[in-house]
Amino acid sequence: MKKISRKLVLLLSLVAVLAITVGGTLAYLQATTGLLTNTFKLADVHTKIEEELSDTKQVSILNEGESDVYVRVRLSLSGLTEAQMGAVQVISDGDVTDDEYAAYKGADCITILTHGKWAQTTSVFNPDGFFYYTAELGAKQKTELPLEIVVGSGAGVTKEQNFEVIVYHESVLARTSDLTDASKIAEQFE
């Protein structure tokens, strides 16, 4: 009988030591670790088109959201004849002189000017149809220079044609910052 009681005492002692150790560890962790709160904030991606009409049409994008974004714009020209559509040209020239503007305004074509940071993905005319702003557009910021459409007086566009420039745009959260290549920015939209 004495052997059983010694084993029982030893077993109860071991259980008591484990209980004190586990209880002490839990008490220590509770005393040293405060309540943790994980706070998540959703991205705020909200952009809008701003257009100015004078003798040209100027298109800019305003980021009204709180998150940095990349933007792209597609311009669709409607109400033109096939010959007029064939005479549309894109000029990637940031600084246009007054003489160049006069030449574009008197030309027999419609010219799309990509000022500043606007670019296409390749040198071939817009394979995906978009012009990309090749910088992050910060919260509450506007594209620094516009896309501009100049209708040359010799292009044969008449008031009866119902000629329209339709502007469509998309924006995406700038998950990768500091991209400046239109092709790399295009990948962000996939």
Identify the pLDDT of residue 68.
Answer: 94
Chain-centroid distance of CA 122 in Å reads 19
Alpha carbon of residue 152 to chain centroid = 32
pLDDT at 181: 87
Contact 72, 130 (CB under 8 A): yes
For the stretch 94-123, what's the b/e string if a residue is b when 16 or more beta carbons lie within 10 angstroms of its beta carbon? eebeeeebeebeebebbbbbbbebbbbbee
Helices (H) and strands (E) in the chain, counts: 4, 9
**Mean pLDDT of successive 10-residue stretches along the chain, which has 190 residues:** 71 86 80 74 92 91 95 91 88 80 90 89 65 94 92 86 91 87 87
